Amino acid sequence: MLKKIIALLALGLIFTSCVSRKKIAYFQNISEINNSEAQNYEPRLKTDDLLLILVSAPDPEAAMPFNLPAVGVLGTAGSLDAAQTQPRYQTYLIDNTGYIQFPIIGPIQLGGLTRTEAVNKLDTEIKKYINDPIINLRIVNYKVSVVGEVNRPGSFTIQTERITLPEALSMAGDMTIYGNRQNVLIVREIDGVKTYNFVDMTRADFINSPFYYLTQNDLVYVEPNKVRMNSSAVGPNITVGISALSLIITIISIATR
């Protein structure tokens, strides 16, 4: 009888320890998604973006007035000695009306444009003064934040200006086993208005949604699942103990009938 009880107990623990794949696995219906070309994604410039804009031309002297002067950064010794000072390019801040103040040209609206559109607009304006300008534009404060049920929450600076939701979660160490993969919140600001959107990452459909690629300053929040929320009320050890005790009593009752 004791062996039968132990066998039933072990079998019960195996079944209760199993977690539904539907709640854990990503991209579960990926086979149903038709192969498609990668989205031609480009972020739009927003208020408070810091832009590094460098203008060059076949005639370097002609392009100089269109660049902000580099500033010296003190060396570790705290000296202004040239050998210990490194130049740093100044950046342009997009104000709350979407404009930057550009040398020679003056105020120019770049907010709301993609990087390509902004470069084309600057190119059109600068060509009024010099021939064949070359414009390099980058967002230097492009970052996303990931919080909640992830292993390494935090804010992450993105060098490429292009990042997907799975990549951001990977940078944060992926979701913990207690993360709700079916209800990931993305807080995004569009034209000064914050939007709140939920993504089900267990379904592969989201790779074609507007939230597969993140934009600068997006906030990703992974909410806890029911197991985490229930355990927070009484403590995870007590919850496990109660569940195990209930299982043992049920198995013994069935075995001794």
Residue 199 and residue 209: Cα distance in Å, rounded?
Answer: 9
Give which of 10, 69, 39 is closest to 164, Cα–Cα: 39
Separation CA 39–CA 208 (nearest Å): 8
Q: What pLDDT, in 10s, does the model give residues 56-71?
A: 999 999 999 999 988 8
Domains of the chain as residue ranges with CATH:
1-41+142-257 (3.10.560.10), 50-139 (3.30.1950.10)
- Given 3-state DSSP classes, what are the helix, strand and coil percentages for the chain, each rounded to the nearest 5? 35, 30, 40
Strand (E) positions, 90-153?
Answer: 92-93, 99-102, 106-109, 134-139, 143-148
pLDDT at 16: 46
Give 99-152 pLDDT, tens digit per residue.
999 999 999 999 999 999 999 999 999 999 999 999 999 999 999 999 999 999
Which residues of the chain fall below pLDDT 50?
2, 13-17, 82
| 3-state secondary structure (DSSP) of residue 179 | strand
Measured between alpha carbons, how far is 64 from 56 in angstroms, rounded to an integer? 8
* Beta strand ranges found along 142-204 (DSSP E): 143-148, 154-157, 163-164, 179-190, 193-199
Query: What is the pTM for the complete model shown?
Result: 0.72
Element spanning 223, H or E: strand 219-224
**Helix (H) / strand (E) containing 244:** helix 236-255
